[in-house]
Amino acid sequence: MRDAAASGGPERGGTARARGHFMQGFVGLLPLWAGAIPAGLAYGVAAGGAGLSPAEAQLMSVVVFSAAAQVSAAALIQAGTSPLVLVVTVLALNAQLILLSLTVGRRLRLSWPERLLTALLLTDGAYGVAAGQGPLRLPTLLGAGASMFAAWNLGTALGTALGGAVPDPGRFGIDLVAPLTFLAVLVPLVRTRPAALVAGIAAFGLVRVLPGGVAVLGAGVVGIAAGALIGRRDDEHAPGAVE
C-alpha cells in the first residue's frame, strides 16, 4: 500500500504544481481585466453597430480572440470594405503573434494539442504575465491566457447586451465606437518612432485615394507591420540573441 501511494505521489504532485502554476497565471492577469473588459464591451457594441448579431459577435470572441483583429473587422464591415481587405487587415494586425509564437516555441517543448491550445490563448498580456513570474511554464501561460479569454468574452457579452438595448445606435454616436476603439487598440501596437512615422506617411498617402476611415485603418496596419519588422531586427541584433 505504501509503495502504491509512493508511486502515485510524484504524479499527483506534478498535477498539483501544474494547477498551482495555472492559477498563478490566471490571478496574475486579473489586473488587466480593468482594460480587457471595457475593450470587449466596446467591441460588442461596435459589432452590433456593424450589423453582427449577438451570437455572431460572441462566436468571434470565442474563435478569434483578438482585440485588434475583431475591432478592425467590425470597423471594416461597417465601412463596407471588401472581404479581401478585411482578411489582409486582420492577418497583418496579428503579425506580432507570429513572432511571439516563435519565442514560446523556442522556450517550451509542446505537443500538438498543447500547441493548438496555446495558439488559441496566446496574447501579449498573457505572455508578459507568464514570463514575469520566473521561468516560462506552460500552465502559467495557459492560466494567464484563460484569464484574458474570460475577461474578453465577458466584456463582449456585456457590449452586445448594451448595444441591443439602444434602439438607435447612430443617434448616440455608437456607430463611431468601432473606429475609435480600433484606434485605441492600434496606438499601443505602434511602439516605436519609426513605425509611427511609417504609419503617418501611409495615412497621408492613403487619405487621398480612400475614404477617411479605411485610410486610417490601412495606415495603422502598415505601421504595425513596420513595428513588427523593426522589433524582429532589434531582437536578432540584441546581445544574447539566439542564432
Give residue-wise pLDDT tens across range 162-203. Answer: 876 655 555 544 444 445 544 554 555 454 556 556 666 665
Position 49 scores a pLDDT of 83
Q: How far, rounded to the nearest angstrom, does the alpha carbon of residue 38 sit from its chain's CA centroid? A: 14
Domain ranges, residue 103: 2-189
Give the total number of structural domains in the chain. Answer: 1
Is residue 153 in a domain?
A: yes
Q: Which residue has the higher pLDDT, 24 or 5?
A: 24
Is residue 6 in a domain?
A: yes
Is residue 241 in a domain?
A: no
Is residue 238 in a domain?
A: no
Query: Quick one: what percent of the chain has pLDDT higher than 90?
Result: 31
H-helix or E-strand containing 45? helix 33-49
**Average pLDDT value for residue range 87-102:** 80
Contact indicator for 76, 214 with CB cutoff of 8 Å = yes
Q: Which residue has the higher pLDDT, 204 or 26?
A: 26
Query: How far is it, in rounded angstroms, from Cα 187 to Cα 174?
Result: 21
Query: How far is it, in rounded angstroms, from Cα 101 to Cα 122?
Result: 8
Is residue 7 in a domain?
A: yes
Range in 54-58, 94-98, 198-202, 230-234 with the lowest mean pLDDT:
230-234
Position 174 scores a pLDDT of 47
Is residue 198 in a domain?
A: no
Is residue 225 in a domain?
A: no
Is residue 98 in a domain?
A: yes
